[in-house]
Structure formats: C-alpha cells, structure tokens
Chains A and B, each alone.
Chain A
C-alpha cells in the first residue's frame, strides 16, 4: 500500500541494503535513495502502526524513536537508519512505561479517531523516559510537533501528566 500518489514520489534511485535494529530485532531491508524511514516501515517491512499524516514533519503521526531520540520518520532517510536502533509504536507493546501511558490515554479519553495516537504515544513515551514527571506545560510542549484534530489536546496532556504521576506512585515499569 503506497503512501503517496505515484506522481508525488521522486524516483527512488538505486536500492541499497541496510541493517538496523527494529524493536529489538536485527533487520535488513533494501531501500531506495530517497525513501523515507516511514515508507520503509510501512511499505517494505509492513509495520503500519506508524502513520503517514503530512509527509513533511508538521503532524508527528510518524514519530518513532531512533537511538533514544524521537524523530519524524517521514523526514528520515531510510538509508540513514543503517546501523541504528529504531523503536516504533509496535515496539512499545512490551514497554512497561508505555503500558501505563496507554492506560492513562484510555482513562482520560485521549483517543478519539486514533490516527494521531501512535505518534502521540511514542512522543509521550520519549518524554517520560527523559522527564519522568512532566507537568501540564511540559506535556504540552513535548507534543507541540504532534497534531490532533479530535481531542483539543487537553485530554492528551492530562493523560501524559497522569501517567507520570502513576509511574512516580509506584506503578513502576
């Protein structure tokens, strides 16, 4: 399933073989020169949890963690994943911190249509990993690069703060 109309895509150039760690597992993939990490994840590897929203870094639906930092996978060259460590929303399934966070998302009604949720979850997990007890301002600041067209953000920010508090209270990962 292609992300964009064919006409909007550049030719991908000669394919190159890369190796990287994806959600803790060694992978290899054959990728074109201009292919994004997002295209690779969805079209080549078949992990569709990471969403294509805007394709230019404005919406954050494609957020993944690379070498411990959150980035827009639509702006990352697939080739540049060579030798690096990637975590997607699928990789957070076994993450205890993300589990507390997803419970908080459900509890606070932070999920409506769900399209932004993988990106929100990955970005918020990254926030909790670097700043375990964010206040509302820190939570809002962290998701500045993630658009949500349903919730108005309040519930998402509340869920992130609550997850931080739950983790601090001892629901430790």
Chain B
C-alpha cells in the first residue's frame, strides 16, 4: 500500500485501508480480555449495555485479520452472537423481505425466497470472496464492517434496505428501531449503530412488478478481490418503459458507499435510451469522489464508473 498515505488527515479523506495504517501505528494494540458467546438476544443486548467496550463477532472473516493486524477497534469484551437463535432466518414480514443479520453470504446465494424477492442480492453474493468465506461471512457483518468497498452494500442501498437495530429496553426486554441504510454509513468502518445496539436484520421491500436491477463489481480476478468499484442499479419500469424509483448506488468511490442522487433524478420518469445512458453515466462519474490507492487511481475509477454505468444502463434499455 502507498506509504505516503499515513497521516490522520489522509485517513479522514481516504478509505478504510488508509485508516488501517494509522491504527497500526497505535501502540495500544487491543486484545479483548473477556469473551461471551451469547445464547439469547437479551443476553447479547445486556452485555452490550453493560458499558464496557464490546467487539461483536459473527462470521469473523473480517474481524480476525483486523485483530491480527492490530487494526480492530479497542474492546474489552468479544461478544460472539453466532449462537443467538433466530438471527439467520430469511422470511417475509409485511411488505418486506426480512434477512437476519447472521444470514451467511452462502445462504443468500441459494435461498429461494431471496432469489425471487431480491435477486440483486443473490447476484452480488455470487461475486463475494470465495466459497470458504461465503460459508462463514454474514450479511450483518458486511454491513457493520462498513467498508466503502463492501460487496453487499451497494445492492442493499439500491434496494432501499433498512437496518433493524436492537437494544435493551428499560424493562429488560429487547426493543428495536429501524433506520434507512442510506445514511447509516458515516465513514470507513463507522455507522450510526450506537455502542449498546446490535444489528439484527436487514429489511428489503419485496420486489415490485417490473423491477429491473443490475450489479457490477470490478476486480482483477473473479474471486477474493476487493472491488475497484461496484455499481448497483434498481428501478421499476412501467408498461410505457418509463423508470420509477430509480436507485443507483456506487461502491469504493467515496469514504462510504453512496447513492448517486443527481443521476437518479436525471433518470426518474424517463425511458432509457443510449443518449440518456451516456448522460447518466457522465453524471454518476461526476458524483463519485474516488481516491488513488493500491487498487486503482482516482482517474481510472472515474472512467471505469462512467463506462460501466453506461454499459449497464444500455443493457437495461435493451432488455
């Protein structure tokens, strides 16, 4: 990685990998002193509310390398939530698909309900790491890890996902609040989840009639690559070919995954053709704020984003 990018100022500007340089230089490498494998949600929430700093463990596929590189956040307690029952289910709740936080990426690939109601997530899961990692990594972990390049984050944003956060109520029972995923990410590795809260589920509206959705991830090889950029698109197309509820989410081109709002507005209510696709692609490239890093230059990311957005939208126009 680029050794020049090591100041805290750079860490604020740049993505997660630059932040790791800064943390690595911090001599206080923090090993949790205690461990708890919670077997109920209330037990987990009680541990979270007890005040000591807590590091939540689910699949561990991100956390283990972070700990060993000395770039995990300091914590006194390692809280393993993998034995909390009911957090790995996929089901329908009202007009949403409810995906438990402990659902593994491998489950997303094969779940029949998810393949019907949120096929974009299954498609993104197919581009995720390797079989071994898909078998362990969880959707909730991918969201809480909040990498600008997190593979599941752009499709979740494009599908208007909400996060469900649980916390211990005053009466000792589990309470929940919901937040839009859009706005949940506050920076590389940071979210709006409060220290006493646990992410318990992602909620995705059931696929509307006429939904068109696409996912693109760029990497130097199909497996195990951290994306250079990723793009997720979703919209409803009416009988007249007009797009509604347009969502375009971009990954690895800013400190957090982001929605390209001006580009969405440009496409809203319109019928896609080659000219509009090119215009939207230029707009998306303008909305991105990419950086130079080990995987690509900012210039390359922007060009890649422009070209792949155009191709993606042209493909939508053709089908």
Instruction: Say if A and B assemble together.
Output: yes
* Binary interface encoding of chain A residues 8-41 relative to chain B, with 1 for a CB under 8 A from any of its CBs, else 0: 1111111010000000000000000110100000
Contact, CB under 8 Å: A80 / B57:
yes
A60 CB contacts on chain B under 8 angstroms: 130, 132
Binds B, one of A70-78, A93-101, A158-166: A70-78
Q: Is the CB of A77 within 8 A of B80?
A: yes
Residues A26-76 near B (CB distance < 8 A): 33-34, 36, 55-58, 60, 63, 69-72, 74-76
Q: Is B136 located at the chain interface by the 8 A CB criterion?
A: yes
**Does A123 lie at the interface of the complex (its beta carbon under 8 Å from any beta carbon of B)?**
yes
Contact residue among A69, A77, A142 (Cβ-Cβ distance under 8 Å from B64)? A77
Q: Is A55 within 8 A of B68, CB to CB?
A: yes
Pick from B32, B106, B129: contact of A34, CB below 8 A.
B32
Does A110 touch B at the CB level, under 8 Å?
Answer: no
Task: Give the size range of B's interface with the partner.
Answer: 20 to 34
Contact B65 A75 (CB under 8 A): yes
Residues A70 and B135 in contact in the complex (CB < 8 Å), given A77-B60, A77-B80, A79-B37: yes
Q: How many residues of A contact B (CB 8 A)?
A: 36
CB contact under 8 A between A76 and B64, given known A71-B135, A123-B131 = yes
Most buried by B among A4, A56, A126, A142: A56
A63 vs B131: C-alpha distance when bound (angstroms): 10
Bound-complex Cα distance A9 to B70 (A)? 9
Given contacts A14-B33, A34-B32, A80-B57, contact A145 B132 (CB under 8 A): yes
Give the B-binding residues of A (Cβ under 8 A): 4, 8-14, 16, 33-34, 36, 55-58, 60, 63, 69-72, 74-77, 79-80, 82, 123, 126, 141-142, 144-146
Question: By the criterion CB–CB under 8 Å, are A145 and B129 in contact?
Answer: yes
Nearest-Cβ distance from residue B85 to partner chain A, whole angstroms: 14
Interface string of B1-43 (1 = CB under 8 A from A): 0000000000000000000000000000101111101000000
- Please report the C-alpha to C-alpha distance between residue A58 and residue B34 in the assembled complex, in whole angstroms: 28
Task: Name the residue on B nearest A142 (C-beta).
Answer: B131
Q: Once bound together, how far apart are the Cα atoms of A141 and B130, in whole Å?
A: 9
Most chain-A CB neighbours within 10 Å: which of B32, B37, B130? B130
Instruction: Give the residue name and chain of the B residue nearest to A63 (CB).
Output: B132
Known: A74-B64, A75-B61. A145 touches B35 (CB 8 A): no
Contact A13 B31, CB 8 Å, known A75-B61, A145-B131: yes
